[in-house]
Amino acid sequence: MPQQSSQTILDVVTWIQRHLDAGLSYRFACRVGMCGSCAMMVNGIPRWTCRTHVNKVMRDNSLTIEPLRNLPLIKDLACDMSEFFEKWTDSKGYFQGSTTRHDPVSTLSPNSPQRRVADAATECINCAICYASCDVVNWNRDYLGPAALNRAWSLQNDERDSASAERLSVVAGDAGCHQCHSQQGCATYCPNELNPTASIAGLKRMVAKAYVRGELGAGGKGRQGPESDA
């Protein structure tokens, strides 16, 4: 294909689809490093292909482009994201409030310690780069994963959320935060420079304190593996 200045991996994949293989399947949307939908493995590393320049990752005049690791393959470079989003739901990664539209609007101080902690984890856009980089997900398919646990940590620090106890019980389970080996792959490759490992460490501390206070039963609850379904 013709070489151009500032050429990205997504440019290469698009050229192949348009000129060599019209049936090539892959995902992309914004093309400007905002949506994360174009994530793929490039030379074994998960990357947003729209922000990865060919001249920075080329090895011996060749490239290896593959679908994201740790996700079921649909076709070519397109993966099934269902498992990733199901784990987000399993971890109670959604806000649950206790007020109604008839109550006064909640006020939050942007400088409060809890708000600062929550804000540090809120820029995740579900691109699954961290999920693809996580060796624990590769070893343990039930593990909730860095994105889901990062979201849980953010919500645990949102003073308006009313599901803290239930969420903590889930992340304390067999597939939760204590499965993390703190290898920092998620933090290394996150395009938005988040640190899910730090969020997961925060959950571990929170779970330990809850156990000491008697707020969690032994073992907790969580996404269960095949043996526990019997």
Q: What is the pLDDT of residue 175?
A: 95
pTM of the model: 0.87
Cα 213 from Cα 211, distance rounded (Å): 5
**One domain, residues 162 and 187:** yes
Residue 48: inside a domain: yes
Out of 34, 51, 79, pick the residue that ends a domain.
79
**One domain, residues 13 and 68:** yes
| 3-state SS class at 82 | helix
CB contact burial 161-181 (16+ within 10 A = b; e otherwise): bebbeebbbbbbbbbbbbbbe
Distance from chain centroid for Cα 47: 13
Q: Kindly provide the residue ranges of all beta strands, DSSP E only, lying in 55-142, ordered along the sequence.
A: 65-66, 73-75, 78-79
What are the φ/ψ torsions at residue 227 (nearest 5 degrees)? -65, -35
Please give the tally of structural domains in the chain. Answer: 2
Residue 21: inside a domain: yes
pLDDT in tens, the chain (230 residues): 778 888 999 999 999 999 999 999 999 999 888 999 999 999 999 999 999 999 999 988 889 999 999 999 999 999 999 999 999 999 999 988 888 888 888 777 788 888 888 888 899 999 999 999 999 999 999 999 999 999 999 999 998 888 999 999 999 999 999 999 999 999 999 999 999 999 999 999 999 999 999 988 654 444 433 333 32
Residue 74: domain span: 9-79
Report the CATH number that the domain containing residue 44 is assigned in CATH: 3.10.20.30
Out of 58, 79, 100, pick the residue that ends a domain.
79
Residues 6+ apart with CB under 8 A from 27: 37, 38, 77, 78
Cα 151 from Cα 21, distance rounded (Å): 38
CA distances from 202 to 9, 24, 49, 181 (A): 36, 42, 31, 14
Residues 6+ apart with CB under 8 A from 62: none
Out of 42, 57, 79, pick the residue that ends a domain.
79
What angle, 0 to 180 degrees and rounded to 10, lies between the N-to-C axes of helices 164-171 and 146-156?
A: 150
